[in-house]
A and B are shown apart, each in its own frame.
Chain A
Amino acid sequence: MYDFIQGQLVSIAFVIFILGLIFQIFKFFKLTKKKEWSYPPGEVKREKKTAGQWVAFCLASLNGTLWKTDPLLTVVTLVFHVFLILVPIFLLGHNILLDQSWGLSLWSLPESITDILTLVFLICVAFFLGRRLFLSRVRAITTVYDYLILLIVAAPFLTGYFAYHQWFNYDTVMTLHILAGEVMLITIPFTKLGHMLFFFLYRFLIGNEYSFARGERVW
C-alpha cells in the first residue's frame, strides 16, 4: 500500500491531472464557437501614455477591482494563490526527487524560507476557513463540499509542514503527504478547483463585460 502510494500512484495522479486538464480544454472548445461579430470591433487607436500617466492609470483602475471592496481579502488571496503554485515548484524536497527520477534539476528556495512560506500559506487557509465559518454572506452559499475542497488544498501543506519538522512518525506523515498531493492533483480538473484552468478560459476567451481580452468565443 505504502509502495503503491509512493510509487505508481504519483505517476497516475500526474497523468490524470494533465489529461484531465487537456480533456477540459478540449471540451471547452467543443462547447463554444467563434464569435461572429455583427459589428466588427474597430481598430482603437491607443493614446500614448507617459510613464507617469501609466502609473496613475493603473492605480485608478485598482479602484474598480476587489482591492477597493475588500483589500484584506485581496492581499490574502493573492498570497494564497502565489504560494500555492510557487512553493511546491521551488521546494528543495520536491526538486531532489524530481532530479532523482527525471534528471530534471530546478532552482530551489532555501528550506528555511519555504518552511515559513508554508506557514504563511496555512494562515491564509485559516483566514478562508474563518470567513466561511463566520461571515453570513459566505455561509449562505457554503456546503460541506466547500470545506472538503479547502481541506484537500490545505492537506499537502499541513502534512508537508509536519514532515519537514519530523513531527509524528516521519514515514506515515510522508505517505500521507504524498497521498494528499495526489488527491489534490486528481481533483483539480473535475471540481471547483478547475477554476485554475477555467479562470483563463472564462475571462480571456469568453467575451463579456469584464473580459481581459476581446473575447473571441461564445457558448
Chain B
Amino acid sequence: MENSKLGQEMKPVDVKKIKEMLNLKKGKMKRYLSHCAHCSLCAESCFLYMAHHKDPQYMPAYKAIHSLGTLYKKKGKVDRKLLTKMKGIVWRNCVLCGRCYCPIGIHIPSMITFARSILRSQEVYPQPDEVSAESWL
C-alpha cells in the first residue's frame, strides 16, 4: 500500500501513452465535447449536484469538461498535480450512476469513464486508505 501510494506521486507522467489513449476515442469524445452547448441543463439530473447545494462543480458537464475536456485541450501534456485534481472530479464527484440527462444527448458517463481509464493508465486512482484523508464526503 505504502509503496503504490509513493509510486503514484513519484512516477513521471507518460504523455505519449495519454496521447495514444486520447486518439483512440477522438472521434466520439471530441464530438461530445464540442457539441455540448454549455447550457447547464444537465445540472438537476445529477443527485450529487442536488446534494451539494447546487454547487456548479458537481454539474455533469462541468465534470466532463474539467477532466476529459482538459486532457484533450492540453493534448495529454499534463502534470501529476493536475491528474490528482482530476482524480477527485472523476471518482469523488461522480459515481457513474448514469442518470444525467442532456437534451442534446451527450453521454457524460462515457466521458467520465474514459477519463478514469486514462488516469488509471498513469496509476492515478483512489487508494482505500485515502478515503478519510481526502474527505470524500
- Show the binding face of A for B, using Cβ within 8 Å: 27, 31, 66, 69-70, 73, 135-143, 146, 191-192, 194-195, 198-199, 201-203, 206, 208-211, 219
Contacts and interface: CB of A to CB of B under 8 A. Distances in A.
Interface stretch (B75-83, B99-107, B128-136): B99-107
B21 interface: no
29 contacts: A27-B27, A66-B41, A66-B103, A69-B41, A69-B44, A137-B54, A138-B38, A138-B39, A138-B40, A140-B40, A140-B56, A141-B65, A143-B38, A146-B38, A192-B36, A192-B37, A194-B31, A194-B34, A194-B35, A195-B35, A195-B37, A198-B31, A199-B103, A203-B105, A206-B107, A209-B98, A209-B101, A210-B101, A211-B105
A53 B103 CA distance: 26
A154 B52 CA distance: 35
B65 A70 contact: no
B86 interface: no
A192 to B, nearest CB: 6
A94 B65 CA distance: 39
B90 interface: no
Nearest to A68: B44
A27 B31 CA distance: 11
Nearest to B102: A210
Interface of B: 25, 27-28, 31, 34-41, 43-44, 54, 56-57, 59, 61-62, 65, 98-99, 101-107, 110
A137 B40 contact: yes
A206 B41 contact: no
Nearest to A211: B105
Contacts of A203: 104-105
A218 to B, nearest CB: 10
